Structure 1
Amino acid sequence: MSHDPAIPPAPRPGGEGFRALDAGWRQWIAENRLRHCTAESMLATMAQAGLDPAECERAIRAMEEDPAFLAARKFQQLNAKLASVMANQQRLRELDPLYGHVEKRSRVSPAEFMDKYVIGSRPVVLTDVARDWPAMRRWSPQDLRERFGHLEVEVQAERSADPLYEVNKLEHQRKTRLADFVDRVLAGGATNDYYLTANNEMLGRPGFAPLLDDIGTLPAFCDRSQLARRASFWFGPAGTVTPLHHDTLMLCHTQVVGRKRWRFISPLQTPLLYNHFEVYSPVDIDRPDLARYPLFAQATVLDVVVEPGETVFLPLGWWHQVSSLDVSLSFSYSNLAVPNEYRFDNPRITNW
């Protein structure tokens, strides 16, 4: 049995001191039956919430003949077919004995990159992309402070107290001088409480243009003319975590200072990740709650540590969770010279 959706808020009292079985509870019954929860488990939950057991039992039986519920059952069958197609395609991919290994490659030709990693939809770590980048010799927290410390940046802060800090990232935006943020990172130790992420959009400002000058040769599959408007800068302490989500385009992410651990899950396994809201999964790969999210136990997680000078290629739609193992400076860019704008019909369910 999968977990029950959130219990509806308490309505006005019903008869004989019981809570009223209102529309919220009737929707709850429908959702739980669609999740194949048993009538017995539902009755126990509802009785514990103060509802009349006899009325609840009648409502559960009646739901099986409700026209709207029967229509939902038809759409559930269609959705189950799509999920089974995805699962079977994933099984075929996992026949590859190297499926669970994220390759580290150099000297990948544009044709091979396109065929094996873009069209083939496989993450890879390219080890030679940044070999001539001035950033590899120059970038450091101290360099940021010296060259750009007087400039204001937008960071995420006070993340530790919010389990949904990435979903609520706009609420965590704070402005600060870069010098002050550098000092905070260097003095604060490992933490997930603050992070300068791609959302800062600082590379579009003239004052930070020298950072783009520190980017050397790009892979042949990238369009240099689009770099300035399709690049992002990341800086933060060890301990930062970007929770499990997928992007809506493909990108490269070059690690300049420090190491990051990347975990990937195929987009074909999306039905296992409880993606109820936008591009996010509530599952924490480090501490998965299998009582609440039991399907995640079936997911295959690919794991790789990316070292300074290495570049992750993130294929379209792949789920990923990223953890900084050290103080980290990274540069990401989505200016691939291939179609890189895609539409996802994302759910916006907030009460599951």
Structure 2
Amino acid sequence: MSPPVMNDGAGTCPPAPRPREGAFKPLDDSWLQWIAENRLRDCTPESMLATMTAAGLEPQACAAAIAGIEDNPVFRAARRFQQLQHKLESVTGNLQKLWESDAGYARVEKRPTPTRDEFIARYVRGCRPVVLTDVTHDWPAMARWSPADLQQRFGHLTVEIQDERNADANFEENKLDHRRMARLGDFVNRVIAGGPTNDYYMTANNEALRRPEFAALLADIGSLPPACDRALLPHRSSFWFGPAGTLTPLHHDTIMLFHTQVVGRKRWRFISPLQTPSLYNYNNVFSPIDLDRPDLDRYPRFREATVLDVVVQPGETVFLPLGWWHQVISLDVSLSFSYSNLDVPNEYSYRNPEIRNW
């Protein structure tokens, strides 16, 4: 039996199943690591001892190991680095508190397109999400795009989709496992007939807009928001199509982008990058928290997070600033167009964690 997962900051350990009668299990290195990790989480020695003995370990050996960890030189080194982490968390927490002192913080602004200078100052460098309401005023896509149009113009072409997502709780993290090829006309029929579902979706990973056969879709895009380089559009744009109910789980991107809703509505929820410590980001750019059903027993620090919520209507364009966490669900059959062709610096590096067993 592997050591159980602990609650971060909860103070007590979750119960473990009682072992069958017999000899005590060994206090191996995985348990010693577990002791160190959970003392760093400030779980109490008493709750840790209860969990370990319930898992079949010898109580006296467990008590000695828990008490002895505090004098371990490796653990003392970890405590020093923990102080540095706590300082960084206090810095981001104080900046977040300053952001939230703005009376309009909790509302995602919807507005006509500002000037380039205002857009860069307020939303790019100011790092604030916004919904622009008039970008698509001259887009042919607004009058033309529909499932029927896709079928008529491109139905004979093969595209990449994600499929069988409902069978995998981590479908987005494992998206490469869900790649399938489908004739677009057949996929259109499936979307229309299937009703609301998250089981299949043509997402940004399809790379269709890199193919000359889909150049007509790019020709349907008119004016662009401020700070966009038109020449980069074919290389930094993506097409999305799927049924109501398709979900993009909570994550952050590593660049800034725009996302224009052409057909159907999407609900976007945002969380500030300054609140990353509350989102249990153990694996790459993903959070395990489902904003519709947050498990506050397992992820108690999520209570500290402030969630911004907005429904994006057809013709509206979301600007996603750098590092903002977001979870997105389609409320209708949806056709969308996303693009990251900003003419300001838009390449950033993250030192992402790769801890998959917490």
Class of the TM-score when normalised by the shorter of the 2 chains? over 0.9
Q: C-alpha offsets along residues 2-50 of structure 1, whole Å, 9 cap, x if unaligned?
A: 3689999xxxx9xx70111100110011011000011111111111111
How many Å separate the matches in 1 of 2:357 and 2:81? 20
Q: C-alpha offsets along residues 38-83 of structure 1, whole Å, 9 cap, x if unaligned?
A: 1111111111111111111111011111111110000000000000
Q: C-alpha offsets along residues 158-217 of structure 1, whole Å, 9 cap, x if unaligned?
A: 111111000000001111101111111000000011110001111001111110000011
1:271 aligns with 2:277: yes
1:238 aligns with 2:244: yes
5+ residue gaps in structure 1? Answer: none
How many Å separate the matches in 1 of 2:13 and 2:249? 22
How many Å separate the matches in 1 of 2:236 and 2:196? 29
Question: 2:320 maps to which residue?
Answer: 314
Q: Secondary structure at the match of 1:271?
A: helix
Q: Secondary structure at the match of 2:159?
A: strand
Q: From the superposition, tell whether residues 259 and 299 of structure 1 become closer, same or farther in structure 2 (CA, over 3 Å).
A: same
1:57 aligns with 2:82: no
Provide runs of 4+ in structure 1 moved above 4 Å: 3-8
Question: 1:194 maps to which residue?
Answer: 200
How many Å separate the matches in 1 of 2:75 and 2:53? 23
Question: 2:338 maps to which residue?
Answer: 332
How many Å separate the matches in 2 of 1:167 and 1:135? 31
Question: 1:216 maps to which residue?
Answer: 222
TM-score where L is the length of structure 2:
0.95
1:293 aligns with 2:299: yes
How many Å separate the matches in 2 of 1:48 and 1:158? 38
Contact 2:254 2:322 in 1 (8 A): yes
Aligned amino acid, residue 191 of structure 2: V
- What root-mean-square deviation, in Å, do the aligned CA atoms of Structure 1 and Structure 2 show? 1.9
% identity of equivalent residues: 67
Aligned amino acid, residue 118 of structure 2: E
TM-superposed CA distance for 1:107, in Å, is 3.4
User: Which of 223, 228, 234 is the equivalent residue of 1:228?
Assistant: 234
Q: Secondary structure at the match of 2:341?
A: coil
How many Å separate the matches in 2 of 1:235 and 1:6? 42
How many Å separate the matches in 2 of 1:229 and 1:7? 51
TM-score where L is the length of structure 1:
0.96
Aligned amino acid, residue 318 of structure 2: V
Question: 1:249 maps to which residue?
Answer: 255
1:180 aligns with 2:211: no
TM-superposed CA distance for 1:318, in Å, is 0.3
TM-superposed CA distance for 1:241, in Å, is 0.7
How many Å separate the matches in 2 of 1:155 and 1:265? 28
Question: 1:105 maps to which residue?
Answer: 111
Give the total of aligned pairs.
Answer: 349
Contact 1:134 1:216 in 2 (8 A): yes
